[in-house]
Amino acid sequence: MLNGVVTKSTGSWYRVQTPDGKTVDCRIRGKFRTKGITTTNPIAVGDRVDIELERNQDTGVITKLYNRKNYIIRKSVNLSKQAQIIAANLDQAFLVVTLASPRTSLGFIDRFLVTAEAYDIPAKLVFNKLDLFSDEGLEILADYKSIYENIGYPCFEVSALEGTNIPKLKEEMKDRISLFSGHSGVGKSSLMNAILPELALRTNEISDWSDKGMHTTTFAEMFELPSGGFIIDTPGIRELGVIDIEQQELGHFFPEMRERMNDCRFNNCRHINEPGCAVMAALEDGEIEPSRYESYLSIYNGNDTRS
């Protein structure tokens, strides 16, 4: 028996990498269930599993799935209640944003951060296209960075084009499983290719396939970095997916609110207009950023701030 991490998931077979770097393509035996949801795929990239080699030793069978520290899902396209697990055991999710075009809004950033908190995945911000920032852009960058670093979200400023601070980002990714998200056009592919040039080849392969009208399954895959760690590359799903959040739990996903809400007078405080609200007091004292509080209200009221 061996153990390993799933690095590729096609829906019918899974590639498992063992600690010594060997890969074994595996089927699954038995049923693997995820508590609380019905899934279309029982195993996802990032999953830690036990495998048994088959007689020829080239292929194997997954016999055990270890508990996940977190996972991200997307709802199935059909109307069933099934969800697809995109990836598991993520150590961090980078949100790639830019203040050049297309400029990312604070509302979008906050919504992403809330989702990451709800999924229990540490989130980090990457400001890309630094080479294009005007003086005004650099001022906004300083403001944004101070907002998010004060709350505890690490920020990186990079240029995928010029390679600025890419080594720093690589260092942050060492020995971790990382995902990159962000709006179309912010430079996710450019950034990932700068980090791992092998990914560029793959992107071309995929578009070649679809050009020829061949059957393209969306498979998830993660790639090992030369210095250790993995980068998840799942075509078409470079997002955190969706997660349903109850109104009353929303405040927990804003760290600066979470750390204060025990001091609210009422334990069911919504932090909207209740007397003795510690969150609103902090807002008035300037300890909570107005833009963050606005995002809280906006998500609370069900407004979509995704764009």
Binding-site residues for Zn(2+) sit at 264, 269, 271, 277
Choose the binding region for ligand GTP from 53-61, 179-187, 221-229, 283-291 (rule: CB under 6 A): 179-187
Choose the binding region for ligand GTP from 20-28, 51-59, 116-124, 182-190 (rule: CB under 6 A): 182-190
Q: Is 129 an interacting residue with respect to ligand GTP (CB under 6 A)?
A: yes
Q: Is 269 an interacting residue with respect to Zn ion (CB under 5 A)?
A: yes
What is d(CA 59, CA 26) in angstroms, rounded to the nearest whole number? Answer: 6
Q: Is 218 an interacting residue with respect to ligand GTP (CB under 6 A)?
A: no
In angstroms, give the least distance from the CB of 70 to ligand GTP.
23
Q: Which of 186, 240, 269, 280 binds ligand GTP (CB under 6 A)?
A: 186
Compute φ and ψ for 275, nearest 5 degrees: -65, 150
Q: Is 279 an interacting residue with respect to Zn ion (CB under 5 A)?
A: yes
Residue from 142, 140, 143, 129 nearest 100 by CA: 129
Whether 175 and 165 have beta carbons less than 8 Å apart is answered as no
Residue from 4, 86, 3 nearest 37 by CA: 86
- Count of chain residues binding ligand GTP (CB under 6 A): 15
CB-nearer residue toward ligand GTP: 33 or 306:
306
Interior angle at CA 171, CA 170 and CA 174, nearest 5: 85
Q: Which of 131, 139, 149, 284 binds ligand GTP (CB under 6 A)?
A: 131
Q: Is 188 an interacting residue with respect to ligand GTP (CB under 6 A)?
A: yes
Compute φ and ψ for 300, nearest 5 degrees: -55, -40
> Which regions of the chain does DSSP assign to beta strands (E)?
2-9, 14-17, 23-28, 48-53, 59-65, 71-75, 83-88, 92-98, 123-128, 155-157, 177-181, 220-224, 230-233
Whether 72 and 86 have beta carbons less than 8 Å apart is answered as yes
Q: Is 288 an interacting residue with respect to Zn ion (CB under 5 A)?
A: no
Q: Is 185 an interacting residue with respect to ligand GTP (CB under 6 A)?
A: yes
CB-nearer residue toward ligand GTP: 124 or 188:
188
Residues lying near ligand GTP in the complex (CB under 6 A) are found at 128-129, 131-132, 159-161, 182, 184-190
